[in-house]
């Protein structure tokens, strides 16, 4: 049984997709960050996802799937939020195999509203097989599934090439033909794509560095929208100028993940001024909603 009542997250994303609106997802690497994220969504009248990725309880301080679920039960507001399991990789950022089906099964049992399997480091055939396996698990629980095709870089341990080199080479960009096949053979509900977006660094040595300003190939995105025929997801929303983000929504992106923009202000203050750290998260979410995405007031349309 899912946490709470009301419109399911699958319906939320479907409505946003059909209406040309964005649904932001905010990652929670530290449990205290959840309350100001929820408060900011409520105060702006916005719909959004509260999210945790596997790396956020492995390499940060989210605790566990259960700890995040319990905190969501304490502070989550179902008029504005749903709980999403973000990246569960088949192969993690350190090149290690992950029991992705076991992690996702645990999340389903705990009542997460939606889940993501990330087989993007696998060959195409194996990514399809892994995603199809998770879709079968989640369908039995009535839960939508997100997957990734292509390579949204940034979480790897070593340094990335300069951003302009990455963009010019189209390294990791999602292939439209593969996207059409992937959706058809997996039955996935939403697809995370690579169109120039990158993740913020997570290694201890680099996680506090300013993220490169990324661009998006909107012509490539239009091809992916046509090929996939399902809502598309943009990971690595931090660092992408608001104009690009809004144009991307018009070209097929429905869900936008935000992590670095709220994590770095929190980390900068959490040890010296915990209250100021929480306020920084709140202000960062409000800024993202009002100035970057323009989603203020979306809850009354998407979660009615």
**Tokens of residue 216, six digits:** 């998006």
Question: Is position 86 annotated as part of the catalytic site?
Answer: yes
Cross-strand bridge partners of residue 23 = 255
CA 165 to chain centre: 25
Which of 86, 113, 118, 189 is labelled catalytic?
86
Q: Is 219 exposed, middle or buried (0-12, 13-18, 19+ CB in 10 A)?
A: exposed
**CA geometry: angle at 61 spanning 148 and 262, to 5°?**
65
23-27 vs 145-148, strand pairing mode: unpaired
Distances (CA, A) of 151 to 93, 115, 172, 240: 12, 19, 4, 17
The SS3 of residue 223 is helix
- Residues 236, 199 contacting (CB under 8 angstroms): yes
CA distance 257 to 154: 14
Residues serving a catalytic function are: 86
């Amino acid at each position: 049984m899912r946490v709470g009542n009301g419109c399911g997250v699958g319906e939320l994303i479907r409505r946003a997709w059909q209406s040309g609106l964005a649904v932001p997802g905010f990652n929670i690497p530290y449990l205290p960050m959840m309350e100001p994220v929820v408060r900011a969504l409520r105060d702006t009248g916005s719909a959004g996802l509260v999210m945790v990725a596997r790396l956020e309880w492995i390499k940060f301080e989210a605790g566990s799937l259960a700890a995040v679920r319990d905190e969501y039960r304490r502070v989550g507001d179902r008029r504005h939020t749903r709980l999403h399991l973000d990246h569960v990789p088949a192969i993690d950022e350190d090149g290690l195999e992950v029991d992705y089906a076991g992690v996702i099964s645990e999340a389903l049992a705990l009542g997460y509203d939606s889940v993501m399997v990330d087989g993007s480091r696998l060959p195409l055939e194996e990514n399809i097989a892994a995603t199809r396996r998770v879709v079968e698990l989640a369908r039995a629980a009535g839960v939508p599934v997100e997957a990734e095709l292509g390579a949204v870089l940034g979480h790897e341990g070593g340094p990335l090439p300069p951003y302009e080199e990455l963009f010019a080479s189209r390294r990791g960009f999602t292939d439209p033909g593969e996207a059409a096949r992937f959706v058809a053979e997996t039955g996935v509900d939403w697809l995370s794509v690579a169109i120039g977006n990158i993740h913020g660094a997570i290694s201890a040595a680099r996680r506090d560095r300013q993220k490169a300003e990324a661009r998006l190939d909107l012509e490539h995105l239009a091809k992916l929208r046509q090929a996939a025929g399902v809502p598309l997801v943009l990971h690595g929303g931090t660092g992408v100028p608001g104009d690009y983000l809004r144009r991307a929504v018009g070209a097929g992106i429905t869900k936008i993940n935000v992590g670095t923009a709220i994590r770095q202000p929190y980390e900068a203050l959490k040890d010296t001024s915990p209250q100021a750290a929480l306020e920084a998260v709140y202000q960062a979410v409000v800024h993202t909603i009002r100035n970057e995405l323009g989603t203020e007031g979306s809850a009354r349309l998407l979660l009615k």
